[in-house]
Structure 1
Amino acid sequence: MPLARRLRLGDAIAIGLGSMIGAGVFAVWAPAIGVAGSGILIALAIAAVVAYCNATSSAQLAAAHPVAGGTYAYARAEIGAWWGFVAGWSFVIGKIASCAAMAMTFAAYAAPGDAQIPVAVTAVALLAAVNCFGVTRTALVTRILVVCSLLGLAVAVGLGLSAAPAVSPPPLPDATAYGVLQGAGLLFFAFAGYARIATMGEEVIDPARTIPRAIVLALGGAVAVYLLVGVAVLLVLGADVIGSTAPLVDLVIAADASAWAPVIRVAAAAASLGALLALLTGIGRTTLAMARERDVPRFLAKIDVRHRVPQRAEIAIALIVIAIVLVADLRDAIGFSSFGVLLYYLIANAAAFRQTGSARRYPRALQVLGALGCLVLVNTLPVFASLIGMAVVLLGVGYRMLRLRFPRV
């Protein structure tokens, strides 16, 4: 049974923005500035350029293959089933890690210490339930959460920039080339939300036209927001942001506007929920596509007759995310997520490079630059996160090899 086409351009942009303007913009500055130092804006520019190259590849592929699954489906069609599997598996594991990070970030802003884990688990369960009742509800909730996030960010940036001339923050550490690239790799984690638009190609109205426009517009809006927030953080907090668990709350406090801190906390919580909702949606669709090809258990390919969504996949993903929240540490979540997503986009660029004729919308140079960017950034990520990511990728490859060797099992 096919999924229903119900999403318009505004819905697709909202889902993309909800994924990119999420927990990352409220939490990524401390680790990214910690490694990039005074080169943080250069790192942001590098991450944005790599993201743009990857976005154009995703847009070109999505226009030619308007089906659920994102690069998993595109790579299968363009360069082979094994490449598609590695892309899909990398996306699923990377974004499951992102979901856990989003849930924990939400709880850190919204709940006191001992209540954070139960609150994070509850958030995952409730948003999975929203997804199970139809994609139009997902788009509506995401729109509401994106608006709340943008309002909170506008308050933080406005207060920060207005107070900047009166504060003298400590200077940032000197930048190194490796640190800037590692910072770009961590910041890339925050830009990868446009993939959620592509994975929903089977539910978008007029996908060949809507998906490319939505991807580029959502990415452009996210880059503008991150630049404004980054400048405000640098001017007001400087090196004080390093080690902060809630940098935008610290920003308004440093701007002598602590009365606004609760507003920022609410906005951060809304942003985290928006990103978590969109992430769960995208992972569910990729899992559905993989289950249709038996690259994950076929049981997960079932689509609910009434709501026309892959409920089994959504529930399974939510249970895994909850398990990670219960046992995992947030410290390596961003690095692990970036590993999976960069590998995913490396394959997306390779698949788009192979397209010819009327399917080609962008110069091949963008795909080459995107692939090189992914390779460089993935090799600068924290070693532990990369090793765990590679181990999980190899575990998935082993599962597929066994499934092909014993097809009736």
Structure 2
Amino acid sequence: MTTLAPTTLQGRLSSELGRLRDAGLYIRPRVLEAPQRARTRVAGREVVNLASNNYLGFADHPFLKERAERYLREWGAGAGAVRTIAGTLSIHEDFESQLAEFKHTGSALVLQSGFTTNQGVLGSLLQEGDLVVSDELNHASIIDGLRLAKATKRVFKHKDMQDLRRVLAENPTDGLRLVVTDGVFSMDGDIAPLDQIVAIAREYGAVTYVDDAHGSGVLGEQGRGTVHHFGFQHAEDVIQIGTLSKAWGVVGGYAAGPHDLRDLLINRARPFLFSTGHPPAVVGALSAAIELVQADPSFMERLWDNTRYFKAELQRLGFDTFGSETPITPVIFGEAEAAFEASRQLLERGVFAVGLGFPTVPRGLARIRNIVTAEHTRDDLDAALAAYQQVGRDMGVIGG
């Protein structure tokens, strides 16, 4: 009888890492050697930072840091327990009330991250016999969250309203029907047509679920998000989830919607039930961020002024920005090797912007994803544009 030797841990690690290297997918993260700002330091060099999601420049803002320090001193370093046992401090609930008021929803609940929020909400809402219809370009956290749900899953073509209607019509059910979409799509920077999505969902008795990770703090009055941008903030059949990183500069995720949604998640959402509550310093910084964006409209004004300028100049130089409508501004290079090489050359010229290839984006559409922020100055953007012009010409992507 032949006895097969089991795979060793080192063998599995080596083989998997080898596959990643062979496919050109091996990642070695760049390390920032200074705070997350419009200009930071990478590999010993000061660079214009176009790689972060720090839309409003809040990650190192003094107002947030002061509030975080005060909450740290008053409330301690950690929550000490999961929220449902002894880890809910009054500051947690105060912030959730503040967030619900900001979002114009009946309630809000904060979870550990945007990724776990999708897992927690989708897993709590969906049951066997339900139908969930998801945009084909939705974020990985939605895809993974749906894998855990027992509902019937269907996909509609990206922002294709005829296809959405077809999928809903072909999959009748007396269970809950849920249409799931990103508010702003993270790779292309386009905005979901929520006005049409909600209308079609209502025709079929479906609820609309919006992951607004890249819309919150960017779109809508005072940064209230994509749902507010389209006027659905008071709708009982629209659920908002999102992150508290990105525009808000800190960490966490949230779900905002009817009051009963919060109660269900407290009782059913596994990431909430089995993870310690946010540290007080995080809660303090988040509270300050929501206050600051409402008190000072210049953050969003600068964000959009910079966005319009940078996009227009890239297009004038001849780059393809793929129809982006938001501060997420892709520059298409085609194949992954070209995008990675362009990223390397940009870094040599003092611009930190990361190349993305398959499977993060489709084959043939490898790009550098740029995100301008409210903190960038015109000098920052002009320096980045000059570097792009030189790299684009050297690589034959734009004309000389």
Give the alignment's TM-score, normalised by structure 2: 0.31
Q: Select the structure that is richer in strand.
A: 2
State which structure, 1 or 2, has the greater radius of gyration over its C-alpha atoms.
Answer: 2
Q: Select the structure that is richer in helix.
A: 1
Give the alignment's TM-score, normalised by structure 1: 0.31
